[in-house]
Structure 1
Amino acid sequence: MDGAAPGDAVHRGLAVGGVLGFLVPSLAGPAEAAIHPVLVLLLYATFLGIPFGRLGRAFGDRRFLVTVLAVNFALVPTVAWLVSRIVAHDQVLLVGVLFVLLTPCIDYVIVFTGLAGGDAGRLLAAAPLLMLAQMLVLPLQLWMFVGVEFARSVEFAPFVDAFVFIIALPLAAAALTQIAASRTVAGRRIEQVVMAAMVPLMVATLAVVVASQIAGVSSRLGSLLLTVPVYVLFTVVMVPIGTAAGRLARLDVPARRAIVFSGTTRNSLVILPLVLALPDAYALAPLVVVTQTLVELIVMVALVRLVPRLVPDTTSLREA
């Protein structure tokens, strides 16, 4: 996936879903039924990009690993809680915002990191650990930040089903596909075809999510717009935090740039099925997550140019 592809995919998916949802409200039901199948395919393609075979390397690079985990699971929660006070008066918005801000990205962040001259390889190697850590820590964080009443209101059976069938199974299938790709020509062809379908699958996923939700929540568009400053402020705060964390850890320049991108980029598409499994009272939450995707990808394009200036390669400057 090239650098423009994620942003273009989001724009196309949102536009197609919005137009169809408004013009043909009867599509909401079929679109909602299609969400899980397209999500399974999208996440399967996403997880194929995770180098499961490099898990040992991720453990070996301890300084980078400790820094990326500290930024995402010690510093990010504090920032997420603070900026979420903007929507704290609305629990549905708050839940959607926290779901997405508390989970670090494991997919297109690697593309943007590479475009900015960051160490995409080390971030790619750390992706399995970031995925595992967020799945383990997220329930506790939501319990702490949203409260006991929210935890009691959630039916965990659909939540568990969503995790097993929409996240765990595609994750296992991706791992098996990687094994097959390393041993057979057929496996490599399957991997190539699925990876090439990543952008169309992203378009389809966003389109069906928006088409299924937009007609019923048009009266709450003002609320959705309220989340935009939350997401922008999160990025504004996390960029200098990530820069400082990389410097304090004495990482090299490419690794420091990777830390900045990891701290600012969130896991919206992977966390989306869990948000869709929330009770009906939280029907707006999926669009809160999709809104974050749109804002983030616009911001990422800017950061590709900004981060190299904030974290300059002084070695090349001295050589010049």
Structure 2
Amino acid sequence: MSLIEKLYSFIIFISVIVGIGIGQFETVRGSAEFFIVPLLVIMLYITFLQIPIADIKSSFKNLRFTSWTIIMNFVWTPILAWILAILFLSGHPALWIGFIMLMVTPCTDWYLIFTGIAKGNVALSAAILPLNLVLQIVLLPIYLLVFGGTIGVIRLSDLIESVLIVLLIPLGLSFLTKYLLQRNRQFKEKLYSYIGALPIIFLSLAIVAMFAAQGQILIDNLALLWIITVPILLFFIINFVISQKVGGLMKFNYQDKVSFSMTTLARNSPMALAIAMTAFPEEPLIALTLVIGPLLELPILTMITQMLLLLKNRTIVK
């Protein structure tokens, strides 16, 4: 885990503060929004470039693990998110949409790091990664229309346009790049070793631009931070308990159970944020929810890894 990865939550927090600060200058505030989408497209392109989507078939080697991961991530989790949104966010349509977007997009990077820290089966987790990415790209618009289409925020045309711009374009470019590099494996591996931290950098720059353009919205709605925090915390608590129970019922060993929990807990806030900024530019509170997400998620995942290691040590002692 590199230094920049360890400081991820701090970097995002600082990006928010910097964005609000420079947004006080009218010239910056007026032009910042034009940088948001290009920065996010570059961020996702580099992210997709590092994901072995062509290896998606390997996820089916452990059919039981894959099946239950799909059920947890794409059946149970959207339902849980919808229930929590009804209970806590029914009076806040923008927060509702942001929360749904955050919770229905499984992580495609961070969960591998935390799986490794908790001594889980990293290879098994990596095998499910490409499938998680493809399914969330396909299903995210459907989830938004089903669970959020009745609250008057979502326009189908904007949603389709944003998916095309910030997902399919960088995904297509990543496939093209991989094709061009397939005969030069040594250069490809060297390139990947250099670009590992770039998605965090470009995401941080996009967050700076977003809060430079819309930072006043955050200042005017600080009370909403507590409203969105409660369902986010409940999501992680409930899903952790359920993932451990399901892993036990499926008789997963410790390593596989860790992989299962991390795969079904960690969320893909950068991708959801990219969609939100392009599909809902007039609803900055949606993006605000997706910025708060990782500020809470990474400390929570850190605590969960320690809990899992504690459970492992207790099992060994017994």
Q: 2-side partners of 1:30 and 1:312: how far apart?
A: 54
User: 1:155-185: CA deviations, max 9, x gaps?
Assistant: 3333223222221222233234344444214
2:94 to 88, 92, 95: 92
* Partner residue in 1 for 2:166: 166
CA distance in 2, matches of 1:196, 1:31: 23
Distance in 1 separating the partners of 2:296 and 2:205: 19
Q: SS at the partner of 1:246?
A: helix
Encode CA deviations 1:263-287: one digit per residue, 9 max, x unaligned.
2111110111211133455221101
2:183 maps to 1:183 = yes
Per the alignment, residue 37 of structure 1 pairs with: 38
Q: Which amino acid aligns with 1:156?
A: L
Give TM-score, length-normalised by structure 1: 0.88
Q: CA 1:296 to 1:10, structure 2 compared with 1: closer, same or farther past 3 Å? A: same
- The whole-number CA distance in structure 2 between the counterparts of 1:17 and 1:192 is 28
CA displacement, residues 7-54 of structure 1 (integer Å, 9 cap, x when unaligned): 513322332332342354222333221111111121122223322242
- Name the aligned partner's letter for residue 277 of structure 1: T
Name the counterpart of 1:8. Answer: 7
Alignment of 1:1-320 (within 5 A): 1-2=1-2, 5-25=4-24, 26=26, 27-84=28-85, 85-148=87-150, 150=152, 154-184=154-184, 185-310=186-311, 314=315
1:119 & 1:94 partners in 2: Cα distance?
Answer: 34
State the SS of the aligned residue for 1:148: coil
1:205–1:149 CA distance, 2 compared to 1 (3 A): closer
RMSD: 2.4
Letter in 1 for 2:223: G
Letter matched to residue 201 of structure 2: P
> Cα distance 1:212–1:249, how it changes in 2: closer, same or farther (>3 A)?
farther
Paired letter, 1:130: N
Distance 1:11 1:227, change over 3 A: same
Letter in 1 for 2:241: P
Structure 2 residues not aligned, in runs of 5+: none
